[in-house]
């Protein structure tokens, strides 16, 4: 019985030792390399630019006020529509002005008749004096009468001209072409010359974007800029991914000592892009000429204390540590000033799951630059047309 027990124990021990040996053999096997996304470094033409916030403004804005006082008779436009320069907008009751014109015309006729009579008498006096048939004093008196008649006629003529202008001004026309606002005063109300605001008109062919550049940025990045060269800028509206091209057409002649900024103005085609004065916008202005740099995804860059690095893939598919110098960011991508060259392969997703010295199985992917803008280019609008239109 004891002999049978020893035999069973030996068999059990052998089975245990056999299982341990098999487990150790399995633990000694190396796991397969981790598969990660790898892409070739791309070289692209890139440009550094600065972005400023602004509100769009109309080049021309008129608060329309009457030039004569009177009762508003009618309104001859539809609120919110586009009006042309010279188009009739409001009519002030013209009857008082027409009456004044007719009265002054009659006075002018009388003054002209009196002047004609005075001229005849003055000429006759000169002939009589020459024949010693009239005294010099009488002739001088007739000459004074003539000059008074001339002055009265000129005064009435001037009053008539003013009355005719008042009659003309009773018909209020658009001083500029543009989009008209609502009527602030309606038919039947009395309006005062130069005081009552009738409505507002803003031009709609172009819009201005004024923005301020701080003195340090201007001196470092834009000191050589000249508005006459039509420097290109881009406008970005709220909730719109499509940039709109424009040009710088004005740079102020001095830096504001209070704010330490320089006022710059860009001009854009309002009608082509339905731009409204008062709208919020961001203006991007290029700070340098384009240059070619390596481009990598932002997520591929790691941080090591003060250093920035990427993980490159060598010929043995092993990850290597590579220091880089960062440039500008462009959406999901970053320009690399130094550290990478054409042909380098990098770990697209960076050091999140892997580290230097690790072997990998590369999964080749490509960058998608379709919605990424690296340089400010003329889009949608001709820069030359904008410059000429602004001038």
Dihedral angle sign, alpha carbons of residues 367, 372, 375, 380: positive
Residue 239 is predicted with a pLDDT of 82
Q: pLDDT at residue 359 above 60?
A: yes
**How far, in Å, are 18, 129, 143, 152 from residue 138 at the CA level?**
157, 9, 9, 21
Instruction: Please give the Cα distance from 267 to 250 (Å, whole number).
Output: 9
Q: pLDDT at residue 289 above 80?
A: no
Residues 58-98 have pLDDT tens digits of 999 999 999 999 999 999 999 999 999 999 999 999 999 99
> Residue 300 in contact with residue 347, Cβ under 8 Å?
yes
Instruction: Please give the Cα distance from 30 to 286 (Å, whole number).
Output: 53
Residues 98-147 have pLDDT tens digits of 999 999 999 999 999 999 998 998 888 888 888 888 888 888 888 899 99
Residue 199 is predicted with a pLDDT of 97
Q: Give the helix, strand, coil percentages of the chain, each rounded to 5.
A: 30, 35, 35
Name the residue with higher pLDDT: 13 or 316.
Answer: 316
Residue 28 is predicted with a pLDDT of 53
Q: Is 258 exposed, middle or buried (0-12, 13-18, 19+ CB in 10 A)?
A: exposed
Which long-range CB contacts under 8 A does 184-188 form with residues at least 24 apart? 185/72, 186/72, 186/75, 187/72, 187/73, 187/74, 187/75, 188/71, 188/72
Residues 314-349 have pLDDT tens digits of 999 999 999 999 988 888 999 999 999 988 999 999
Hey, is 271 helix, strand or coil?
A: helix
Instruction: Please give the Cα distance from 21 to 25 (Å, whole number).
Output: 6
Q: pLDDT at residue 382 above 80?
A: no
Residues 229-255 have pLDDT tens digits of 778 899 999 887 788 999 999 999 999
Mean pLDDT of the chain: 86
Q: Kindly report the pTM of this predicted structure.
A: 0.69
pLDDT band at 29 (very low <50, low <70, confident <90, very high): low
Dihedral angle sign, alpha carbons of residues 383, 385, 388, 391: negative
Through-space distance between the first and last CA atoms of the chain, rounded to whole angstroms: 118
Residue 383 is predicted with a pLDDT of 41
Q: pLDDT at residue 8 above 80?
A: no
């Amino acid at each position: 019985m004891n002999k049978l027990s020893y035999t069973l124990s030996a068999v059990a021990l052998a089975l245990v030792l056999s299982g341990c040996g098999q487990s150790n053999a399995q633990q000694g096997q190396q796991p397969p390399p981790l598969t990660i996304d790898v892409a070739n470094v791309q070289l692209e033409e890139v440009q550094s630019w600065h972005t400023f916030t602004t509100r769009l403004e109309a080049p021309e804005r008129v608060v329309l006020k009457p030039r004569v006082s009177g009762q508003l008779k009618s309104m001859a436009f539809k609120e919110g529509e586009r009006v042309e320069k010279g188009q009739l907008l409001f009519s002030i009751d013209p009857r008082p002005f027409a009456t004044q014109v007719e009265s002054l015309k009659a006075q002018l006729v009388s003054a002209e008749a009196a002047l004609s009579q005075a001229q005849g008498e003055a000429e006759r006096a000169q002939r009589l004096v020459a024949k010693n048939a009239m005294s010099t004093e009488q002739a001088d008196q007739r000459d004074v009468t003539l000059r008074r008649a001339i002055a009265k006629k000129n005064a009435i003529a001037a009053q008539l001209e003013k009355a005719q202008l008042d009659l003309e001004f009773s018909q209020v026309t658009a001083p500029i072409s543009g989009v008209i606002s609502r009527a602030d005063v309606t038919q039947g109300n009395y309006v005062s010359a130069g005081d009552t605001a009738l409505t507002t008109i803003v031009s709609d062919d172009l819009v201005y974007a004024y923005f301020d550049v701080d003195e340090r940025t201007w001196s470092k990045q834009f000191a050589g800029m000249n508005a006459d060269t039509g420097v290109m800028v881009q406008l970005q509206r709220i909730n719109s991914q499509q940039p709109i091209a424009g040009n710088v057409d004005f740079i102020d002649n001095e830096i504001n000592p209070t704010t330490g900024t320089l006022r710059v103005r860009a001009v854009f085609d309002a009608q082509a892009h339905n731009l409204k004065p008062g709208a919020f916008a961001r203006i991007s202005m290029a700070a340098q000429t384009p240059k070619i740099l390596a481009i990598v995804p932002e997520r591929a860059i790691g941080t090591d204390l003060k250093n920035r690095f990427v993980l490159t893939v060598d010929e043995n598919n092993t990850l290597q540590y590579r220091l880089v110098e960062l440039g500008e960011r462009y959406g999901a991508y970053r320009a690399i000033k130094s550290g990478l060259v054409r042909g380098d392969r990098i770990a697209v997703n960076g050091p999140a799951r892997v580290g230097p010295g690790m072997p990998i199985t590369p999964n080749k992917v490509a960058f998608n630059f379709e919605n990424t803008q690296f340089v400010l280019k003329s889009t949608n609008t001709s820069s030359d047309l904008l410059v000429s239109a602004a001038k």
